[in-house]
Amino acid sequence: MVNVISMMLVKNEADRWLHEALRQARFLSDHVVVLDDASTDTTREIAYQYADEVLESAVSMFARDERFQRQRLWDTATRMARRGDWILGFDADELLPEDHVERLRLILTTKFLPGVDSMSFRLCDMWSDTHYRDDKFWTAHHRQWVRAVRFDPTAPNRWRDATHHCGSFPLGSEGVVGFTDLTIKHMGWSREQDRKAKFDRYMEADPDGALGWLEQYHSILDPEPHLVAL
């Protein structure tokens, strides 16, 4: 029997999509592991409502050493995994459409998917509950993003060399990627106040665009972005 283990790194998510993200993880998984990155709101208490195991960090590593937290989360999730078990790694602002949740559960529980070591998904940067951003600055939906891997204890356990956005899984753990037609709704951009806060944070951390893309930073505040209905 193949088990499904979900892992999620969270920080100050209480007034966002945490309930829904954890509800989906709970439905999809046999075991849910959450690492709270020193939240100052009620995120930790919400996590305990859904997760089988909640790891607590006394000091936040956000934008300092995300690899440390991701490694800790991965080590905890894989400690209970057997070869071939599915490990899911969705963020707290990533939701599947309801019909896609049902379809993913069917894949995880009834299909063997021979020769496939991981599954990738289309990811849409949502600018509202129903529409995603589509222009030269926002192209995530044109690529596939791995959010599920079959556990292989012999696979590499090395993380991308980045203090932030280092990925959900160790480099090399994906193996042979199986592409799906399932969609992730990345809700982190969907509220105006969140977009403004992210713009301010990026400009403070990287005012010259040396670490990212300055034009994209400024595009966050476009008054009339090109949006497509999901």
Q: Per-residue pLDDT tens for 167-225?
A: 889 999 999 999 999 999 999 999 999 999 999 989 998 899 887 899 999 999 999 99
Helix (H, G, I), strand (E, B) or coil at 148: strand
Cα–Cα nearest to 184, from 224, 132, 136: 132
Q: Which residues pair with 136 in a beta bridge?
A: none
pLDDT tens-digit profile of 18-69?
999 999 999 999 999 999 999 999 999 999 999 999 999 999 887 778 888 9
CA dist list (Å): 4 to 139, 145, 148, 221:
30, 18, 9, 39
